[in-house]
């Protein structure tokens, strides 16, 4: 039995579906007040109902309520956690979900005798990172290493579906200037969420994943200038770009995205992916492929009138 925690998210839902297609027994943690059905209609979640219909076993609970996690991990061999507070708000934040919630889950899994815990973290996560989200991820990584369970820590670079699509794709598709931070000389191996899901599913049975920290990214390291150029090729027109100093707010971007963009100007995440992609048999999605899919889908939505925007519906 594999428990997927965060299955009503986009990546968690992809992981659960992959495992179900492979014939695995899958259990999903569902909050009693989960808005997944409504968010799924907007392209911002995976509905719990769709996963249950596909064969997943639901258990109702909450990372913030430790006692509710016992049923989720009872009799489970592997836990996969993608749960995070990104895109939420209120009581769901880096402290309550990414730090305390993951700690609750790790402790419950350890006490239940779970053999393997796969944690989807983030590239650059560190207990000393000044960004609370990244700090909590780093502290959770440390807790998992100290738990005594076999572990796999997946540390993906920035997601195409969030960073490229929202920072560049949305304003470009809407005919607005793109706003970037700093000089944009740093290179990042943007990864697709479908590839993160593929690595997580492959890690369940692969011996090369045991007790490993695996930084994962896309097939090519790119600057933000490269990202803009990719959208220009797909759209067949130039895109106006304006720059703001690090730390300045960016119109249309919610907190903490401008701060994370500023942080991305302090390091590179250029990862050599050929070997790890071959090891886990994951064909990597290029940014060019993703952007052309986004542009084509957006064009189709526009032809349908006010039914919605690919960018806003599929950003997270």
Q: What is the pLDDT of residue 160?
A: 95
Helix or strand run (H / E) with residue 133: helix 132-145
Q: What is the pLDDT of residue 315?
A: 30
Residue that wins the pLDDT comparison between 207 and 248: 207
pLDDT class for 99, splitting at 50, 70, 90? confident
Residue that wins the pLDDT comparison between 27 and 304: 27
Read off the pLDDT of each residue in 23-32 and give the average, rounded to a whole number: 93
Q: Where are the domains of the chain?
A: 2-156, 161-187+219-271+286-306
DSSP assignment of 283-309, as one string? PPPPHHHHHHHHHHHHHHHHHT-TT--
Query: In this structure, what token pair is assigned to residue 208?
Result: 């090369």
pLDDT of residue 91 exceeding 80: no
Evaluate if pTM is beyond 0.85. Answer: yes
Q: What is the pLDDT of residue 90?
A: 60
Q: What percentage of the chain exceeds 90 in pLDDT? A: 66
Choosing among 3.90.1720, 3.90.25, 3.30.70, 1.10.3470, the CATH entry for 161-187+219-271+286-306 is: 3.90.25
Chain length of the chain: 316
pLDDT of residue 309 exceeding 90: no
Read off the pLDDT of each residue in 142-157 and give the average, rounded to a whole number: 96
Q: What is the pLDDT of residue 291?
A: 96
Q: What is the mean pLDDT of the chain?
A: 87
**Rounded distance, CA 43 to CA 32, Å?**
20
pLDDT of residue 304 exceeding 70: no
pLDDT class for 297, splitting at 50, 70, 90? confident
Residue 212: helix, strand or coil by DSSP? strand
Q: What percentage of the chain exceeds 70 in pLDDT? A: 88
Give Cα 310 distance to the centre of its chain: 18
- 100-142 pLDDT, tens per residue? 889 999 999 999 999 999 999 999 888 988 878 888 899 999 9
Residue that wins the pLDDT comparison between 125 and 275: 275
pLDDT of residue 303 exceeding 50: no
pLDDT class for 263, splitting at 50, 70, 90? confident
**Rounded distance, CA 163 to CA 169, Å?**
9
Q: What is the pLDDT of residue 300?
A: 44
pLDDT of residue 146 exceeding 60: yes
Q: Do 160 and 191 touch, CB atoms closer than 8 A?
A: yes
Read off the pLDDT of each residue in 289-313 and give the average, rounded to a whole number: 57
Report which listed range, 92-96, 99-103, 283-287, is most confident.
283-287
DSSP class of 253: P
Contacts 24+ apart (CB under 8 A), 71-74: 72/3, 72/5, 72/27, 72/29, 72/108, 73/3, 73/105, 73/108, 73/109, 73/112, 73/114, 74/112
Read off the pLDDT of each residue in 47-56 and give the average, rounded to a whole number: 92
**Rounded distance, CA 141 to CA 127, Å?**
9
Its CATH class, for the domain covering 2-156, is alpha beta
Closest to 152 (Cα-Cα) out of 10, 14, 15, 13: 15
- Residue 182: CB atoms within 10 A of its CB come to 18
- 170-185 pLDDT, tens per residue? 999 999 999 999 889 9
């Amino acid at each position: 039995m594999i428990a997927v925690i965060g299955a009503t998210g986009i990546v968690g839902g992809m992981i659960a579906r992959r495992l179900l297609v492979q014939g695995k027994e899958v259990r999903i943690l569902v909050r009693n007040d989960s808005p997944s059905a409504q968010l799924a209609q907007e392209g911002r979640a995976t509905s719990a109902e769709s996963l249950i219909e596909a064969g997943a076993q639901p258990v109702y609970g909450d990372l913030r309520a430790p006692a509710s996690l016992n049923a989720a991990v009872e009799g489970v061999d592997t836990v996969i956690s993608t749960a995070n507070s990104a895109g939420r708000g209120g009581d769901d934040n880096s402290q309550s979900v990414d730090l305390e919630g993951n700690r609750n889950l790790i402790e419950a899994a350890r006490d239940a005798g779970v053999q393997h815990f796969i944690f989807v973290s983030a590239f650059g996560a560190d207990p000393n990172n000044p960004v609370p989200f990244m700090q909590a991820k780093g502290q959770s990584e440390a807790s998992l290493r100290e738990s005594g369970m076999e572990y796999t820590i997946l540390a993906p670079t920035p997601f195409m579906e969030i960073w490229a699509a929202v920072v560049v794709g949305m304003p470009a598709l809407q005919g607005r200037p793109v706003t970037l931070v700093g000089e944009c000389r740093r290179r990042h191996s943007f990864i697709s969420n479908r590839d993160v899901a593929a690595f997580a599913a492959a890690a369940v049975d692969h011996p090369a994943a045991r007790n490993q920290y695996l930084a994962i990214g896309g097939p090519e390291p790119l600057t933000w200038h490269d990202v803009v150029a990719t959208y220009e090729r797909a759209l067949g027109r130039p895109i106006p770009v304006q720059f703001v100093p690090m730390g300045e707010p960016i119109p249309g971007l919610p907190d903490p995205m401008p701060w994370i963009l500023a942080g991305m100007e302090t390091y590179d995440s250029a990862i050599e992916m050929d070997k790890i992609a071959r090891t886990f048999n994951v064909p990597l999605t290029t940014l060019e492929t993703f952007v052309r899919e986004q542009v084509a889908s957006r064009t189709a939505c526009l032809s349908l009138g006010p039914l919605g925007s690919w960018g806003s519906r599929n950003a997270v």
